Structure formats: structure tokens, C-alpha cells
Amino acid sequence: MTTIKGPAIFLAQFMGDEAPFNTLEGICRWAAALGYVGVQIPTWDSRLIDLEKAAESKAYCDDLKGRVEACGVQITELSTHLQGQLVAVHPAYDTMFDTFAPEHLRGNPKVRTAWAVQTLQNAAKASRNLGLDAHATFSGALLWHTVYPWPQRPKGLVEAGFRELAIRWLPILDAFEEAGVDLCYEIHPGEDLHDGVTFERFLAAVGNHPRCNILYDPSHFVLQQLDYLQFIDFYRERIKMFHVKDAEFNATGKSGVYGGYQDWIDRPGRFRSLGDGQVDFASIFSKMAQYDYQGWAVLEWECCIKASEQGAREGAPFISDHIIQVTARAFDDFAGGAVDEALIKRLIGL
């Protein structure tokens, strides 16, 4: 067994226009001062990384690593959540997701998709140059508008959707294979990969590709009312990244899983700061230790009530307190004895 690495923090929700949140060094020093030892970097923020340059230049990556480590933390992984979303966008969502792309690509879905694919391939090379072994992203979605089976789905629709999704992602997965990096899809509502069944559909469509893996975030399963502990039992071999994020689900006589188009503060299912929700993190960290998860525990802060800085401040000790220092010996070693082959044979009747 391996002790989980951490605590680390995903920087996406904390970047801003004021110091210390507006520069790489500033936010890294801030994170280190709170007790974090790792940072997960969103690649769409050019203040943190030039992804194209990182893909081309090992020297640039060495300098970037050095700047981060001089602040007291290390890079855990890179993230392309926003760019990954653009690999597959149904036309119904074109306008809303256009803001994820550079301005000159907006209004041109075909060119936008090609840009997203190239960006993910750059992320594979950048991760290799940084010495990282996992990468976070979204799958995008071609079928999400049909998530509820009304009107009735035509036969073959789901298979065709996942076949097309696989065609778009296979060159990217191959790029990550060449780089020696695991591509980890965050299993998330709004994506075609939003639960275990849809992950299995995609995994089959990409031929059980070895780099097709999972970013595990239990908060999204609370909101779906999915068993987030058994999910680990089922998919432990594919879980290569871990977002530590809390959530709660409190159904009423007026609203349930679908949320009634309400704002986050009023929805039955909502994200919370660590310790304020319903996620059983003690059991999650136990399962991760049991199954020898070798990655990082990374705080992703999202909460509609608590301020982000308080959530970050409370998150580092919360994660540290839940990380299990795995044992190097059996608890009942004191009652054992040396191996005795003759005794063993007698005990089994030989």
C-alpha cells in the first residue's frame, strides 16, 4: 500500500485580479502558507502556464517547475477541463461553451474542435516535459441533451454518440500514451462520461485504451445519488486522480435531483466546503489506501455559502487529517512466528 500524496489544491477557483491570486508565484506562496504541498494548474490561464511553449520546450518546463518549487509547493497535474469540453459540443450548447475558446475561434465549431484536440495533444507533451504522470480533463458531450429518455431515443443513437466521441478522443489518448501520461476524465454531469455506465461505454468504444482513466470526485455522485464508495470498488484500477470536494443532497417535496432550474443556493444538491457536506471522506480515504491509490489528494473548492479563502484555509488540515499513513506491517505480527515449512505441511495434513 502507498500513502496518498497531499494536501494539494486546484488553483482554478482561486485565480483573480488581486494579489496574491493574480500571479504564479503569488498564488503558489499563498497555497504553501496554508499548508498545501502541491498545486494543480489550470492550463487555460496564461498567467500560470503557456501550454504551447510547455509542449515545445523542456527548458521552459524546468524553469516553471523551479519557480513553483521555490514557492514551497510542486505541480501535481495540469488540467484542460475547459478545452476538453470543446472536443465534443452538441450544437445546442455552442453559444454557451464558445466562451471557453479563444475569441478568434468563437462561432466556428469545426475550427474550435480542431483547436481543442491540438490543445489536449499539447497537454500530453507538456505533462511529459514537466515529469507528470496524470492529467485532468472533461470528455465533452454529444448526447447530454438526451440524458432523460423522453422523447424516446431512437435505437442506435447512444452507440453512435459514443462511437463519434471515441473517434475524437482516440488521437488524444494515443498522444498521452506516447507521452506516458494517464488521461483522467472527471466523471461529471453535463459530460457524456457522467457515471460508471457511461465511462464503461466510452472505455469499450476506445478499445480499453490504457490511458483512458478517471478523475474521481465524490461530490458529483452525491448530486446524482450514486454510491460513491462502491464506485471505487468497481473502478479502482482506472482511478488515477482524486478531487477532494464535498457536497450535500437534501430533497424536498418541491425539488430533487434535477434541481428545478434553481440557483445553486436553492438546489437540493449543492457543493459545499470540506466538512460542511455529507461525503464520507474517512471511508473514501480508507478505500484509496486499501486499493493502493498512488496519486494526489487535491482540494477542489466549490461552495455557494462559504468564502473561498476560508474553504482553502480549512481544506489543507482537513485533507492532512484524512490521509492515512499506511502500515508497513501487520497489526498481529507480535503473535506470529518464523516460517516453518514442516509445520505448514502438518497443519494442512501432509
Confidence (pLDDT) at 301: 98
pLDDT tens string for the chain (350 positions)?
899 999 999 999 999 999 999 999 999 999 999 999 999 999 999 999 999 999 999 999 999 999 999 999 999 999 999 999 999 999 999 999 999 999 999 999 999 999 999 999 999 999 999 999 999 999 999 999 999 999 999 999 999 999 999 999 999 999 999 999 999 999 999 999 999 999 999 999 999 999 999 999 999 999 999 999 999 999 999 999 999 999 999 999 999 999 999 999 999 999 999 999 999 999 999 999 999 999 999 999 999 999 999 999 999 999 999 999 998 877 777 667 778 899 889 989 98
Confidence (pLDDT) at 328: 82
Residues 6+ apart with CB under 8 A from 62: none
Query: Angle, to 10 degrees, between the axis of helix 24-33 and the axis of helix 58-69?
Result: 40
Q: Is residue 171 reached through a cis peptide bond, with omega within 30 degrees of 0 on the bond before it?
A: no
Residue 249 in grid coordinates = 443532497
**Phi, psi values for residue 155, rounded to 5°:** -60, 135
Instruction: Determine the Cα–Cα distance for residues 18 and 219; give it in Å rounded to an integer.
Output: 29
- Detail the DSSP E strand segments found in the chain: 5-10, 38-42, 74-80, 134-137, 182-186, 212-216, 239-244, 246-249, 269-272, 296-299
Q: Is residue 7 reached through a cis peptide bond, with omega within 30 degrees of 0 on the bond before it?
A: yes
Q: Is residue 102 reached through a cis peptide bond, with omega within 30 degrees of 0 on the bond before it?
A: no
Confidence (pLDDT) at 334: 67
- Cβ neighbour number for residue 230 with a 10 Å cutoff: 12
Confidence (pLDDT) at 332: 73
Residues 6+ apart with CB under 8 A from 200: none
- Detail the DSSP E strand segments found in 65-207: 74-80, 134-137, 182-186
- Cβ neighbour number for residue 289 with a 10 Å cutoff: 18
Confidence (pLDDT) at 240: 98
Q: Is the dihedral of CA 320, 322, 326, 327 positive or negative?
A: positive
Cα end-to-end span (Å), the chain: 34
Per-domain boundaries in the chain: 5-347
The DSSP line for 89-121 is: B-GGGHHHHGGGS-GGGTT-HHHHHHHHHHHHH
Beta bridge partners of 136: 79, 184
Domain 5-347 class, CATH top level: alpha beta
Residues 6+ apart with CB under 8 A from 152: none
Rounded to two decimals, the pTM is 0.96
Instruction: Determine the Cα–Cα distance for residues 295 and 260; give it in Å rounded to an integer.
Output: 37
Residue 167 in grid coordinates = 473517434
Nearest-CA neighbor of 214 among 139, 264, 156, 157? 139
